[in-house]
């Protein structure tokens, strides 16, 4: 039997555009979850929304939930009955609790013995009554960036609630939220058709809203803005500047969008195009218009919330507001031109960057001091001169009139001011590019000076941030250190730069050594933080999880450039696909387990695991006179063979890694597999006992195991060895 349609609408004062879609989705998810928990079957949920309403409609909702059988476990039968089978007090109390006579209570065998159990059938809830109870609870659960209270109302919500409309099929739902009782009426457009109307079904509601100048589908409103906007732009020989976020924003600012084209004075085109677009977007939520070459034209598109009988007046209003903003911008731009970036930069000593890390002037000096080292490490020494000049100016526009008024233009205005004072083109570009990438998918710096400056800036931010106790925790990341880390790794990886993270972090820590304590520990902490981000980046690139985890160890990512780590992943994948590596990885896992257990007992030095020892300690000393001691006759020669193979492999591996020749390193390690397996044995054959009773013998064999583990330059314990273990 088909279910009924659940319709719910919350009418509010105009909500911020960014609240609308997330709140609608959350409302639908929460309601469906509550219905499922009550075993009330339902179909798909569909959301609808405007600035004045949030809504959800769910089809095929059952009139009641399914019956639920609950099993209640009582006392053990040995406690419930005496030896003659007569019920004791625990049995009687359990029967009273479940409301059943003792002869209807069952016995059930469980892992800890036999227990009394009772099965009770819980009748499914009537959907109407259930919804009347849970909808107010669900509305209270909705999360918004900010909430408010109004009048004497104690319930907080995004904006004051004005009406509630809810029904299940033909039945009205009756509940209250924020002192508003639910009903079955909705409202049209606030100005064009504000009258209430009865809601009978979602289809009727949608049609009636349309008649009363409300388009309830955000995607439809967005489509209208784009299509009509493009048509209007073509009428003046232009095109819309494509900005999907702005299209979505306008769709969520209007119930009945009406695009219109207006103009501004042509002389404003002499201002930077980013400034014009920012003024239009941020202050009026308007779209710039461009010609076929992408150059701005003196027109823009605004979106009104209703059709007007006097469109010229509406257009004039938009033009008047934009003209005022552009006049201010032009004034600030001309005033800034009276100063040089060097003069602006002098003011940065009075602008605090972070209380422990000093002013922006301090930050600029730190970054400038490390640029030459960073450029050399990245293999871009020719960029040093321009990168250093850009570093002295890269934050100067923070002290400009323009950036004070339009903070989102920092870096962009710095570039224009650098061009105005006739700096080198690469210097000007680097000033803007040091902010790139601003997001995970944003473009990267393209000039060499921009790459150097962007990396030096992020290094200072990360090391300084961690040293100042700003390490991200949960959702708290006030200095966007996660984003800075991802940006740093993307620049190094995608531009295939030669920089080694440990060397780069040391360069950043040097100018901070007079401010922060224990910079060595701080850089290690940052390196671990970068490692976590790198793992995610590589997994997103499609590399298998186990291979990424094997390669991403601190000693490797600190010592080798990311481009070489990519080569290691390629070599590792080839070795895995050949079928040879799984056996070697399994052998190393066995060695790893032996050393972990020995370290726990105190029989060997602390052991950090595979992939950690090669670059941290020298090869262990092994007493060759103790080889083969107390070994059974049939095992004679096994330990010596392993030692000789280990010595040969050690020299080859160390040489291969000195040249970053990972393929050769992996191939050479394969020579160890058979000798390790012979030494340790398995279910089918005996092996030499590593944990010998004699202390000297046990220590010597553990030293050999440690030497072998040291050669595992990646973490073989992470590699899937299921097939090899069979």
Q: Would you state the pLDDT for residue 60?
A: 93
Q: Would you state the pLDDT for residue 1?
A: 44
Q: Which CATH number fits domain 574-725: 1.10.730, 1.10.287, 1.25.40, 1.20.1070?
A: 1.10.730
pLDDT digits (tens, 9 = 90+) for 519-552: 999 999 999 999 999 999 999 999 999 999 999 9
pLDDT digits (tens, 9 = 90+) for 636-673: 788 899 999 999 999 999 999 999 999 999 999 999 99
- Residue-range domain boundaries for the chain: 4-64+126-211, 75-119, 218-336, 343-542, 574-725
Whole-prediction pTM value?
0.80
Same fold, 343-542 and 574-725: no
Domain 4-64+126-211 -> CATH class: alpha beta
437 cis-preceded (ω within 30 degrees of 0): yes
Model confidence at 722, in pLDDT bands (50, 70, 90)? low
SS3 356: coil
Candidates 616, 638, 613; CA nearest to 628 is: 638
Model confidence at 397, in pLDDT bands (50, 70, 90)? very high
SS3 303: strand
Please compute the mean of the pLDDT values over residues 300-327 and round it to a whole number: 94
Q: Would you state the pLDDT for residue 2?
A: 66
Of the listed ranges 226-230, 458-462, 684-688, the least confidently predicted one is: 684-688
Does the structure show a pLDDT above 60 at 723? no
CA distance 288 to 295: 10
Is 343-542 a domain of CATH 3.30.420?
Answer: no
Asked if residue 133 lies in contact with residue 65, where contact means CB atoms within 8 angstroms, the answer is no
Q: Which helix (H) or strand (E) holds 568?
A: helix 562-577
Q: How far from the centroid of its chain's Cα atoms is residue 79's Cα?
A: 54
431: its two tokens: 């000033």
Listing DSSP states for 46-73 in one string gives EEEEETTEEEEEEEEE-SBPPPEEEEEE
Does the structure show a pLDDT above 90 at 264? yes
Question: Rounded to the nearest 5°, which phi and psi values hold at 471?
Answer: -55, 130
Q: How far from the centroid of its chain's Cα atoms is residue 261's Cα?
A: 39
Q: Would you state the pLDDT for residue 175?
A: 96
- Owner of token pair 């409609």: 57
305 - beta bridge partners? none
Does the structure show a pLDDT above 70 at 329? yes
Candidates 616, 590, 585; CA nearest to 712 is: 585
CA distance 348 to 424: 23
pLDDT digits (tens, 9 = 90+) for 134-178: 999 999 999 999 999 998 889 999 999 999 999 999 999 999 999
CA distance 211 to 504: 64
pLDDT digits (tens, 9 = 90+) for 64-113: 888 777 888 999 988 888 888 888 998 889 988 888 888 888 888 888 88
Asked if residue 315 lies in contact with residue 262, where contact means CB atoms within 8 angstroms, the answer is yes
CA distance 37 to 29: 12
Candidates 9, 45, 11, 6; CA nearest to 29 is: 45
Model confidence at 634, in pLDDT bands (50, 70, 90)? low
H-only helix segments in 111-265: 127-141, 202-211, 218-235, 244-251
CA distance 69 to 518: 62
Beta-carbon contacts of residue 228 (< 8 Å; ≥ 6 apart): 258, 259
pLDDT digits (tens, 9 = 90+) for 399-453: 999 999 999 999 999 999 999 999 999 999 999 999 999 887 899 999 999 999 9
Question: Rounded to the nearest 5°, which phi and psi values hold at 4?
Answer: -110, 165
């Amino acid at each position: 039997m088909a279910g009924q349609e659940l319709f719910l609408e919350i009418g509010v004062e105009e909500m911020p555009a960014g609240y609308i879609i997330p709140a609608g989705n959350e409302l639908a998810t929460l309601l469906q979850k509550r219905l499922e928990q009550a075993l009330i079957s339902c179909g798909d949920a569909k959301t609808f929304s405007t600035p004045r309403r949030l809504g959800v409609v769910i089809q095929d909702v059952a009139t009641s939930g399914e019956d639920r059988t609950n099993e209640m476990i009582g006392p053990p039968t040995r406690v419930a009955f005496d030896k003659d089978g007569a019920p004791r007090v625990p049995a009687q109390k359990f029967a009273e609790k479940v409301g059943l006579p003792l002869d209807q209570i069952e016995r059930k065998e469980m892992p800890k013995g036999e227990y009394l159990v009772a099965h009770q059938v819980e009748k499914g809830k009537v959907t109407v009554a259930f919804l009347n109870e849970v909808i107010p609870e669900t509305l209270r659960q909705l999360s918004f960036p900010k909430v408010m209270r109004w009048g004497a109302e104690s319930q907080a919500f995004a904006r004051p609630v004005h009406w509630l409309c809810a029904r299940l099929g033909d039945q009205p739902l009756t509940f209250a939220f924020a002192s508003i009782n639910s009903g079955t009426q909705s409202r049209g457009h606030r100005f064009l058709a504000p009258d209430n109307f009865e809601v009978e079904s979602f289809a009727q509601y949608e049609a009636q809203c349309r008649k009363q100048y409300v388009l309830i589908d955000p995607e439809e409103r967005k489509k209208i803005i784009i299509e009509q906007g493009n048509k209007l732009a073509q009428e003046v020989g232009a095109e819309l500047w494509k900005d999907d976020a702005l299209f979505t924003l306008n769709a969520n600012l209007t119930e009945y969008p009406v695009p219109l084209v207006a103009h501004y004075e042509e002389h404003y085109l002499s201002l930077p195009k980013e400034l014009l677009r920012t003024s239009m977007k941020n202050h009026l939520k308007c779209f710039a218009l461009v010609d076929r070459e992408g150059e701005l034209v003196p027109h823009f598109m605004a979106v009104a919330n209703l059709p007007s009988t006097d469109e010229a007046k509406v257009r004039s209003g938009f033009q008047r507001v934009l003209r005022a903003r552009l006049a201010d911008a032009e004034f600030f731009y001309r005033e800034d031109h009276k100063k040089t970036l060097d003069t602006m930069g002098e003011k940065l000593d009075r602008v605090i960057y972070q209380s422990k890390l000093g002013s922006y002037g301090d930050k600029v000096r730190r970054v400038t001091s490390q640029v030459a080292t960073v450029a050399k490490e990245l293999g871009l020494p020719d960029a040093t001169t321009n990168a250093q000049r850009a570093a002295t100016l890269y934050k100067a526009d923070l002290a400009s009139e323009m950036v004070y008024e339009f903070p989102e233009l920092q870096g962009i205005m710095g570039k224009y001011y650098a061009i105005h004072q006739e700096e080198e083109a690469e210097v000007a570009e680097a000033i803007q590019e040091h902010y790139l990438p601003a997001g995970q998918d944003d473009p990267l710096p393209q000039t060499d000076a921009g790459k150097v400056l962007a990396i030096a800036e992020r290094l200072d931010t990360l090391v300084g941030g961690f040293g100042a106790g700003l390490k991200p925790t949960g959702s708290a990341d006030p200095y966007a250190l996660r984003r800075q880390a991802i940006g740093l790794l993307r620049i190094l990886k995608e531009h295939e730069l030669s920089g080694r993270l440990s060397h780069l972090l040391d360069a950043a820590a040097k100018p901070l050594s007079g401010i922060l304590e224990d910079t060595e520990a701080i850089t290690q902490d940052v390196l671990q933080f970068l490692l976590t981000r790198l793992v995610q980046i590589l997994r997103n690139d499609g590399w298998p999880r186990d291979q990424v985890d094997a390669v991403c160890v601190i000693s490797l990512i600190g010592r080798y450039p990311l481009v070489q780590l990519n080569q290691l992943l390629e070599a590792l994948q080839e070795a895995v696909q050949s079928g040879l590596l799984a056996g070697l990885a399994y052998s190393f896992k066995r060695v790893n387990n032996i050393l972990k257990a020995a370290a726990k007992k105190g029989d060997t030095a602390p052991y950090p695991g595979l992939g950690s020892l090669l670059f941290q300690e020298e090869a262990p000393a092994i007493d060759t006179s103790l080889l083969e001691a107390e070994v059974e006759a049939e095992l004679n020669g096994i330990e010596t063979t392993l030692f000789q193979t280990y010595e040969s492999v050690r020299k080859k591996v160390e040489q291969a890694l000195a040249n970053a020749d990972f393929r050769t390193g992996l191939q050479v390690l394969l020579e160890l597999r058979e000798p390790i397996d012979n030494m340790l044995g398995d279910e089918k054959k005996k092996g030499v006992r590593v944990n010998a009773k004699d202390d000297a013998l046990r220590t010597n064999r553990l030293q050999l195991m440690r030497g072998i583990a040291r050669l595992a330059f990646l973490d073989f314990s992470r590699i899937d060895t299921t097939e090899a273990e069979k």
